[in-house]
Amino acid sequence: MEQKTENKMGVMPVGRLLASMSLPIMISMLVQALYNVVDSMFVARISENALAALSMAFPVQNLMIAVAAGLGVGLNAVLSRALGAKDEKGVRRAATNGVLLLLISALVFVLGGLTVVEPFFHAQTDIEEIVVSGIVYTRIVMVGSLGLFMQILFERLLQSTGRTMLTMVSQTSGAIINIILDPILIFGLLGAPRMGVAGAAVATVIGQWIAAGIGLYMNIRMNPEVPISMKGFRPHGATLRRILAIGVPSVVMQSIGSVMTFLMNQILIAFSSTAVAVFGVYFKLQSFVFMPVFGLNNGTVPIVAFNYGARKPERMRKTIRYSITTAICIMTAGTLLFHAMPDKLLAIFDASEEMLRIGKPALRIISLSFPIAGFCIGSTSVFQALGYSVYSMIVSIVRQLAVLVPCAYVIGRLTGSVTMVWWAFVIAELVSLALCLTFYRKVDRYVIRAM
């Protein structure tokens, strides 16, 4: 096993290490956020109902990413611990069993794309344009989802050994391909057929498959510490359980966002389809703020896990402190941006007067919760790295299902104002802050200080 790579996470000054691990991921995730916005920007030019269809498809897309990324978190943590402990057999088992888990997960979504998409959209609305566009878009991205799962798998393998620059190359390449193909396939440019909403889905799938191919190549050629050959492979129960013990709570935690979005869409459609479109636009825009923080977390998890395996608590504490402080700063900048120019942000999506009326207060109110979310997201990366993903899961369940959705429903019913509904986000984030502080004190006392 390559000693130099191990020394990077165990010896390099923490500030420089966190920057070298996180910045490439943050940049690539910003590019991912850009392609999400471009996707919706072009679809908005078809019609506002087409944009609403993408908003209603978002829970399914988010669920796919949640499963792939959540299992990737489990794989990443198990791999990094094995690397820190110099357990070569454990590294090999983690990599190959991780491949198995993500292949099975992708197959489930392919089958779902063939069976459950139509009833999913008919359960949300009876507006024909939204239903037809949503079914076409969602079916394509689900049937082609193996590319997404393999892309995330290969990126997590690279992250576990500190090769986040290669991760950036993979993610950025796929996103750029998507951005280029979007207008070509949606509007039928350069001799391509005019595919409308279906073109946006096809562009997304092609970008994911290209990123997966690049990731596979780089793992084979440039990541020798983590062998992914399946020759002679047999499932290893203990390794699968360790990955799932960390990964399943992460999957649940991220999947809750899909449930929350679906339920919020039902609350908002009672006001208007424009309110649903605004909610979808918000999620596209907030990704510019949240994606860098998630990238920071992706860099934090392997560092904390590695140094936990290497029994270096002081390096763990420094990493956690730098990571959470940076996350709060990024989120605060996002709040200032959303307050300063909500109309200009909404104009990216050809916002009508009605969308501006609903959207401007929405962006300003929801963004008040961003700095609080920065601390909470930073805390969850610590829980995941140390094997306490269940804490992250509890925080997400309480914030999004036990607080956010009920508050939004009650506020909407009592006030009859869609503007007041957005305050539910701030209330939910304050509750999650209290939980994160409680859980972090417990982990610090019984895990980090006990080393």
pLDDT (tens digit per residue) in 130-169: 899 999 999 999 999 999 999 988 888 887 777 778 888 8
Q: What is the pLDDT of residue 10?
A: 66
Residue 416, classified by CB atoms within 10 Å of its CB into exposed (0-12), middle (13-18) or buried (19+), is exposed
Share of the chain above pLDDT 90, in %: 37
**Is residue 377's pLDDT more than 50?**
yes
Of 177, 152, 180, 179, give the one whose Cα is nearest residue 167.
152
Mean pLDDT of the chain: 86
Q: Which residue has the higher pLDDT, 18 or 231?
A: 18
Residue 222 exposed, middle or buried by CB count within 10 Å (0-12, 13-18, 19+):
exposed
More confident residue, 31 or 240: 240
Q: What angle do CA 443, 448, 450 make, to 5 degrees?
A: 105
Q: Residue 450 pLDDT more than 80?
A: no
Mean pLDDT of 14-33: 79
pLDDT score at 364: 96
Q: Are the CB atoms for 148 and 65 separated by under 8 Å?
A: yes
Q: What is the mean pLDDT of residues 246-260?
A: 80
Global confidence as pTM = 0.72
DSSP annotation of 367: G
**Per-residue pLDDT at 2:** 41
The confidence score (pLDDT) of residue 409 equals 96
Q: Say which residues have a Cβ less than 8 Å from residue 153's Cβ, sequence separation at least 6.
A: 68, 72, 75, 98, 99, 102, 215
Residue 346: what pLDDT? 92
Choice among 25-29, 204-208, 271-275 with the minimum mean pLDDT: 25-29
Q: Is the pLDDT of residue 28 over 90?
A: no
Q: Which of 75, 51, 96, 100 is nearest to 282 (CA)?
A: 51
DSSP 104-152: HHHHHHHHHHHHTHHHHHHTT---HHHHHHHHHHHHHHHHTTHHHHHHH
Q: What percent of the chain has pLDDT over 70?
A: 97
pLDDT at residue 21, rounded to an integer: 79
Q: Which of 86-90, 293-297, 437-441 has the highest mean pLDDT?
A: 437-441
Read off the amino acid at residue 268. Answer: L
| Helix H or strand E segment including 22 | helix 14-44
Tell me the pLDDT band of 4, cut-offs 50, 70 and 90: very low
Once rounded to an integer, what is the mean pLDDT over residues 285-295?
87
Q: What are phi and psi of 226, to 5 degrees?
A: -120, 90
pLDDT value at 62 more than 50: yes
Cβ atoms of residues 216 and 150 within 8 Å:
yes
Residue 5 has what pLDDT?
43
